[in-house]
Amino acid sequence: MKQNNPCYLFGMYEPDTDSVIVNAINDTYTGTPLTISCEKCNSAVLLDTPDDIAYLYQLAQESPLLYAELACKSNGLQEYVDAMNEFN
């Protein structure tokens, strides 16, 4: 029998530490937040121009859960920046 145990994700950008913090909360678990260093993740991305870093900071601030998801994927942030450059 499958239990319905919804998991709620909450993410936010923390400017003081330049990081994205993700919390997973459900009925039985409230664990330690996952902290993703934007400085470390962004430094692995090859930028066409220095201004392209703005794509990553805007993503972290406006959609921290998507930033976290892409940061956890191999080349996720790189592919995001490449796609943004294609559209602009």
Domain boundaries, given as residue ranges, for the chain: 8-87
For 80, the enclosing helix (H) or strand (E) is helix 76-87
What confidence score (pLDDT) does residue 32 get?
83
Amino acid sitting at position 35:
T
DSSP helix, strand, coil percent of the chain (3-state; round to 5): 45, 20, 35
DSSP conformational letter for 30? B
Q: What is the model's pLDDT at position 88?
A: 82
pLDDT of res. 51: 96
**pLDDT averaged over 10-residue windows placed end to end, the chain, 88 residues:** 69 97 79 92 97 97 97 97 94
